[in-house]
Structure 1
């Protein structure tokens, strides 16, 4: 293959590249908005509003000092 053959194939290769990227984009959007993952993504999105104590596993209503002992 010489340089002129590669130049002749360039538009075809660009077309295939565009098609592959478009299929990948559609697949990613389909994956992200799929019904099976909606509950998981909603839980992740709302986790920022959860109480800090619930996330760390300590029961609510108790405070801990710096050593980790519960305060009264």
Structure 2
């Protein structure tokens, strides 16, 4: 196999790579937005707020009106 053969196969290989990545992207989007995982993703997304409510305290520092942290 010489260089000219590889150069001739290059567009075909790029096409297969593009198709593979497109199928992979669609599969990841389908998995992420599937109905079976919505409840678990919502629970994970709101878990950061559950910890603050359970302790009854705020984990952050006090902020002034501009949003900067006070010392």
Tell me the equivalent position of 1:68. none
The CA deviation at 1:11 is 0.4
With normalisation by structure 1, the TM-score equals 0.71
In angstroms, what is the RMSD of aligned CA positions? 1.7
Tell me the equivalent position of 1:29. 29
**When the two structures are aligned, how many residues end up with a matched partner?**
56
The CA deviation at 1:53 is 7.3
Tell me the equivalent position of 1:3. 3
Unmatched tracts of structure 1, length 5 or more: 55-59, 62-72
Tell me the equivalent position of 2:38. 38
Tell me the equivalent position of 1:13. 13
Q: Which has the larger radius of gyration?
A: 1
Which consecutive segments of 4 or more residues in structure 1 shift more than 3 A?
51-54
